[in-house]
Amino acid sequence: MLWSDGRLVEGGTLPFAMGDRGLLLGDGVFDTALALQGRVAFEAAHVDRLAAAAAALGFPVDRARIVEAMQALAGAVPLAAIRTTLTRGPGPRGLAPPTEPTPFLFGSVAPARAGLFFAPLRLTLTPIARNETSPAARLKTLGYLDAVLAARAAQAQGFDEALFLNTKGGVACAGTGNVFAVFPDAIVTPPSEEGVLPGIVRAEILTKIAPALGLAVTERPLPPSELEAAEALFVTNSLRLLAPVTALGARAYDSAGHATVRRLCAALRAAVVESCGVEPEALDP
């Protein structure tokens, strides 16, 4: 199911300008959100991030249209994975953006996989470096080829996801999520300056959930050598929610059984349920 120009469209095809800069140059941004029974989890944060990303790229967006698209898609499937995409629209040949862009907003929805919620995963390091000097590293842009190639290589090695280091050798993120390390005295996640996309669930953990649980959480550079000393690792994103890491390469972790991780999972589950106004069973597989 697709959304475009104020209406839902059955199937997977929309009219699309072949000169659209999103198609030709990756000149656009997107957002991925979870919806339960017609309500988008943390909706305002998703809308804010997509609008801010468009502003960072220098083209306008109608926030009300983003809300309209997300809410229409959320009502199409009881347990929904929503992608909302915004491009700069068509332009003349060349790299220079048009002086008066005509942005194109569209969205898609598919059934979310309840089995992914809080499910453990296995990570492996990728040799592809995350470029922390690029503004695109902190935006959810349409250029995801590094993550695609890293995911393919990780899966060929028997892992679920790739872990990226930045060009300085510090931990950045997983291909589709933010990374947290649990130490005896604190939970640590790399800051955006390390080449990190500020995720929606990441922000919930940092600013609301961990403080409410009395857990110390900090953003700081994280050398990969420190991961050896971590008691647990986990990855967050909007469709997995919080995924305990059971392995990083050959190093095994009992992250799913760690008390701090279990507390965070329970609190995040409650936050999603409250955000969507549903019963807790709505998140059950």
Return the HEC string of 102-152. CCEEEEEEEECCHHHCCCCEEEEECCCCECCCCHHHHCCECCCHHHHHHHH
Written out in words, the top-level CATH class of the domain with range 121-283 is alpha beta
Which of the 8 DSSP states describes residue 99? S
Q: 2 pairs with which residues across the strands?
A: 9, 108
Residue 188 DSSP class = E
Residues 6+ positions from 276 with CB-CB distance below 8 Å = 35, 36, 37, 39, 40, 41, 282
pLDDT for position 11? 85
How many whole angstroms separate alpha carbon 112 and alpha carbon 78? 9
pLDDT at 111: 96
Q: At what angle do helices 63-74 and 43-57 cross, to 10 degrees?
A: 140
Q: Going from the first residue of the chain to its last (285 residues), give the mean pLDDT of each consecutive group of 10, the final group possibly shorter.
A: 92 90 96 97 98 95 96 96 97 93 96 96 98 96 96 98 98 97 97 97 98 97 96 98 98 98 98 96 86
Identity of residue 54: A
Which of 272, 277, 264, 263 has its CA nearest to residue 112?
272
Question: Domain boundaries in the chain?
Answer: 2-112, 121-283
Scanning the structure block, which residue is given the tokens 């002086």?
A: 99
Contact 150, 128 (CB under 8 A): yes
Q: How far apart are CA 50 and CA 29, in angstroms?
A: 7
Query: What token pair was written down for 200?
Result: 């929606």
pTM of the model: 0.95
Q: How far, in Å, CA of 215 to CA of 34, rounded?
A: 26
The answer to whether 196 touches 226, Cβ cutoff 8 Å, is no
Look at the block and give the residue holding tokens 């005295």: 185
Amino acid at 105: L
CATH topology of domain 2-112: D-amino Acid Aminotransferase; Chain A, domain 1 (3.30.470)
Instruction: Decide if 2-112 and 121-283 have a common fold.
Output: no
